[in-house]
Amino acid sequence: MAAQPRKRGRPPGSKNKRKAHAYITKKEQDDHELAIKLRNDGVITTSGAPLEASDDQEISDLVGRGVFKFEQYNEKLHGRIRIFKSRLLSKAIKTTARRPS
């Protein structure tokens, strides 16, 4: 039996596998730890998880402008869909600035 010739392009499913990891940069991790420290010291007084309020505001603004909308996840409809380069940027502004006395 003769070997079948390879088809052109990437093998099916080789690129769209589910990812279970979310990678963050060292700076994002440091900013998150700084936010927790400042909350414990009483500098940050907003309720909720660190940077949660700004994330909620950013998502609300994007939904309000019609950039995206929420849909109930359905494995049959959305199982092969992947959103590339989508993440919220969480950063502390002026992390080197001194707090006024």
Each domain of the chain, given as residue ranges in start order, spans 26-78
For position 39, what pLDDT does the model report? 83
Show the low-confidence residues of the chain (pLDDT under 50): 101
Give the distance, in angstroms, between the CA of residue 100 and the centroid of all CA atoms in the same chain.
Answer: 33
Residue 58's pLDDT is 83
- DSSP, residue by residue, the chain: -PPPPPPSSSPTTSS----------HHHHHHHHHHHHHHHHTS---SSSTTHHHHHHHHHHHHHTTS-------HHHHTT----S-------TTTTPPPP-
Residue 40's pLDDT is: 87
pLDDT computed for residue 62 by the predictor: 85
State residue 69's pLDDT score: 78
In terms of pTM, does the model score above 0.75? no
